[in-house]
Each structure stands twice: as C-alpha cells, then as structure tokens.
Amino acid sequence: MNRVVITGMGVVTALGQELETFWGNLTNGKSGVSMIENFDVSEYPTRIAAEIKDFDIEQYVDRKEARRMDRFVQFAVAGSLNALKDAKLDVKVDTDPERVGVSVGSGIGGLSTWEEQHRTLLEKGPKRVSPFFIPMMIANMASGQVSMITGAKGPNSTAVTACATGTHSIGDSFKMIQRGDADVMICGGAEATITPIGVAGFCALRAMSTRNDEPHKASRPFDVDRDGFVMGEGAGVLILESLEHAQKRGARIYAEVIGYGMSGDAYHMTDPDPDGAARCMAKAIKDAGIAPDAVDYINAHGTSTPVGDKSETTAIKKALGEHAFKVAVSSTKSMTGHLLGAAGGVEAVICGLTIANGKIAPTINIDNQDPECDLDYVPNTARDAKVNIAMSNSFGFGGHNATIIMKRFEA
C-alpha cells in the first residue's frame, strides 16, 4: 500500500484565512466568536457565532462565477486553492490531472441559496426561481466546483455525514491514495449555515449556547458551565499525496496520515453513544498499526454540549485505557466555533500544524472543569510539546463517527 502524506493545507475561518494568521490566533487562545451581523437576530435565543466577516470570493474567482456558487461552495473553493498554493502544486502543470481527485464534503450544503429561492417562490412565483437553484444548493457542488476550477479529473465524491463529514472526506481520500486510485486528493469540508433558518433550527434543538453577553466565552468545552455549542462557518482542506508522488516533485511534508476509523452508533438521532466513538478510535488505532499509548495528542470533537463532552471523555477512556489520563486533549472549537461538516477539515489542519510546529493549541474558557470530564484538556494556554502522533475525532448527528490519525513524517 502507498504511504500518504500531507503537503498542503488551507483554511477559511473566523480566526483567519491564512495558515500563519490562523495558527497564531489559535495558539494565542483567541476566540473567533462574535455577534451575528449577517441578519437580524434580535428575536433569536442565540445571537452569536464564529462568523467570517471579511471573506472576499473575488480574490479567487471572478464575480460572475462567484454569483453561481452558494457561500459554502465559495469557502470550499477558497480553502482548496489556498491548500494547493501552500503545496506549491498546479494540477494542470505539475501532475497528471486524471490522478488528482477531490472530496470536499458538506454536512448541510447550500442553506442560504435554499432560503433565498424559497422566498422568491413565495413572493414572485415558480417562474422566478433561479435555474441555478439546484446546482448551487446540492452538497456535492463543493467537490464539483473545486474540480472544475483546478482541473482535477480523478476520483470525485462528497461525504454528507453531519459533523463527521470533513473527517470522512479526508479518511476516504487517504484510502483512495493508499490503494492506488489517485496520486493526489484535495479533501476536507466546507459549511455555511449561519443563516436565519440554520440558526433557528439549531436554536429549536436547544443545542447552542445562549451566552450572548460574552461571545468569546460562550464555547467552553469540558467546563461545568457549558451550555451548548457555538456555530462556525468556513472550510478546512488538505492536500494528500502518495509519498512517492510528493518526493518526486520535492514537496514539503507536514505529516503522514497513518490511520482511519469509522463506526455507527445505531443508538439515537442526536445524542452520542460513547461505545460508538470508542470503537471508531480503536479502529483507527488498529488501522495505523500502533498501540493506544503511542497517541500524544487528540483534537477532540469537544463541542461544548453538556452530553457530548462527557460522552467523548468516556469514549477516550474506553479506547485508550489508562493512557487516556496521560494524553493531551484539546477542543479547538472553543475558539473556531463548531464548523459542522467543515470541522473535521479544519481540525485535521490543526493536527498537521501541531505536529509540524511542536505546539498544542489550548481549550479556552475552562474556568471550572467538569469533574466528569477529567482528562488533560490543555486548559486556556498553549503548550510546547513534541507530538509524534495526533488523532482527530469527529462525531455527527445520526451516530456517524470518524477518526483519523497522523504522525511525524520519517522517510
């Protein structure tokens, strides 16, 4: 089987749209959460989110092309082009386009387009609905547009597994390269659900924090006073390559992907089951061919919900045994917010940067750690550490679980 390495990374987040800015804000414990400005939230229980205020798609594509993309697709395109630039890879020039694939998923897809066109239907009638409504809204258009813009003609697919989407996309891409179906994969997740109906829907679930007076303190995974997640938006994209392909073109290597696990809870639509998450981590560890005590760092799913954080803590203990109390665990959602289908993409980027830079980003806002969440969550301050092996967890509504493992690259 082919070895698979990470050679490029791109992000579009409320903490930054360039890797250096993003990483600096993250390791300095800066929150990207603020008041929602894109629409009137005065009647909403939750009025905060990690909203991207300064995104300009015209830095990447022309205005006419951009108007035919939902915001989540725009994020996917920007993140992918940023990642390719970071990898110093031009698909059409530096490699065989038929050996380059795309898997950039979305948990929900074009929610803002759906809202706008439904409003048009009600106010102006069916003849005024845009012919671009369907192709703008469907979740697979992130991968579709990325492939059209970059020229990637290899495997092209889209995972839609709620908050596990980004990690499934990366794990599936890892396996495609490992078995020889592609030399390069552009993979990750994109999401743009900070919209009137998106926020209203999650408010109705009572899943989001209502700490509106202190937005920067609202996302507080593993803290006893956590009251729900904070929604984020954006994209996180990796460039994965076979080691042979990367070395042939002299690419810089951030880390090597070595394991992927997935499982289903078969339990509840929205509440997690720690057994499912534990099995997922165990499968990834087995796939990586390592012992549980080899894991140095876990980027937790850690959404800041009362049930979810406790469940993941239990799952980590089941998967890692006594080593669970020795491994560093952090939830960077405390700063980025929860990017839903894009979360796994952004958090895989964080794991790659953690290994490359020897620093672990903190979990901020742990003022009073929940006694039932009793692991080392790197509270409030970043930590210098040599991380050889990092694990990233993502768990989605419907009981979808995904875990990837990467390690420090050694030739």
Q: How many CB atoms lie within 10 A of CB 60?
A: 18
Which of 301, 351, 373, 400 does the annotation list as catalytic? 301
Residue 396 domain-assigned (yes or no): yes
Q: What's residue 401's pLDDT?
A: 96
Quick check: 316 and 236 in contact, CB under 8 A? Answer: no
Which range marks the domain in which residue 385 is found?
261-406
Q: Rounded CA gap, 258 and 391, in Å?
A: 10
Q: Rounded CA gap, 308 and 228, in Å?
A: 9
Residue 189 domain-assigned (yes or no): yes
Q: Is the pTM of this model over 0.85?
A: yes
Q: What's residue 10's pLDDT?
A: 98
Helix-helix angle 165-178:343-357, to 10 degrees: 60
| Domain end residue (candidates: 221, 248, 275) | 248
Known catalytic residue at 168: no
Residue 255 domain-assigned (yes or no): no
Q: What is the CATH number of the domain that holds 359?
A: 3.40.47.10
The amino acid occupying position 407 is: K
| Domain end residue (candidates: 208, 226, 248) | 248
Same domain, 34 and 63: yes
Same domain, 302 and 154: no
The amino acid occupying position 24 is: G
pLDDT in tens, 120-157: 999 999 999 999 999 999 999 999 999 999 999 999 99
Quick check: 358 and 387 in contact, CB under 8 A? Answer: yes
> Which residues are CB-contacts of 10 (< 8 A; sequence separation ≥ 6)?
19, 78, 79, 80, 81, 82, 83, 84, 85, 86, 235, 236, 237, 349
Nearest to 304 by CA among 277, 281, 276, 333: 333
Mean of the pLDDT values across residues 340-366?
A: 98
Mean of the pLDDT values across residues 365-383?
A: 98
The amino acid occupying position 164 is: A
Quick check: 81 and 149 in contact, CB under 8 A? Answer: yes
Residue 247 has φ and ψ, to the nearest 5°, of: -70, -35
Mean of the pLDDT values across residues 321-341?
A: 98
Same domain, 171 and 295: no
Q: What's residue 267's pLDDT?
A: 87
pLDDT in tens, 76-114: 999 999 999 999 999 999 999 999 999 999 999 999 999
Q: Rounded CA gap, 135 and 151, in Å?
A: 19
Same domain, 95 and 160: yes
Residue 281 domain-assigned (yes or no): yes
Tokens describing residue 45 = 């229980």
Quick check: 298 and 313 in contact, CB under 8 A? Answer: no
Mean of the pLDDT values across residues 309-329?
A: 97
Which of 168, 216, 245, 338 does the annotation list as catalytic? 338
Q: What is the torsion angle, in degrees rounded to the nearest 10, for the CA atoms of residue 11, residue 17, residue 19 and residue 20?
A: -160
Same domain, 267 and 242: no
pLDDT in tens, 260-307: 999 998 888 777 789 999 999 999 999 999 999 999 999 999 999 999
| Domain end residue (candidates: 196, 216, 248) | 248
Known catalytic residue at 163: yes
Mean of the pLDDT values across residues 60-89?
A: 97
Residue 211 domain-assigned (yes or no): yes
Residue 255 has φ and ψ, to the nearest 5°, of: -170, 170
Q: What's residue 411's pLDDT?
A: 81
Quick check: 176 and 187 in contact, CB under 8 A? Answer: no
Same domain, 222 and 131: yes
Same domain, 81 and 198: yes
Same domain, 227 and 271: no
Same domain, 272 and 226: no
Give the chain's domain count: 2
Q: Rounded CA gap, 45 and 32, in Å?
A: 20
pLDDT in tens, 151-186: 999 999 999 999 999 999 999 999 999 999 999 999
Considering the chain, what is the average pLDDT of its residues? 97
Nearest to 107 by CA among 338, 261, 308: 338
DSSP state of 200: H
Q: Rounded CA gap, 369 and 31, in Å?
A: 19
Same domain, 172 and 318: no
Tokens describing residue 122 = 């009600």
Largest CA distance in the chain: 63
Q: How many CB atoms lie within 10 A of CB 135?
A: 18
Residue 253 domain-assigned (yes or no): no
Residue 228 domain-assigned (yes or no): yes
Residue 48 domain-assigned (yes or no): yes
Same domain, 84 and 30: yes
Known catalytic residue at 400: no
Sheet holding 255-264, edge to edge: 100-105, 184-191, 234-242, 4-12, 255-264, 400-407, 389-396, 297-299, 328-330
- Label residue 229 by pLDDT band (50, 70, 90): very high
Same domain, 22 and 161: yes
Mean of the pLDDT values across residues 194-216?
A: 97
Q: Rounded CA gap, 332 and 319, in Å?
A: 21
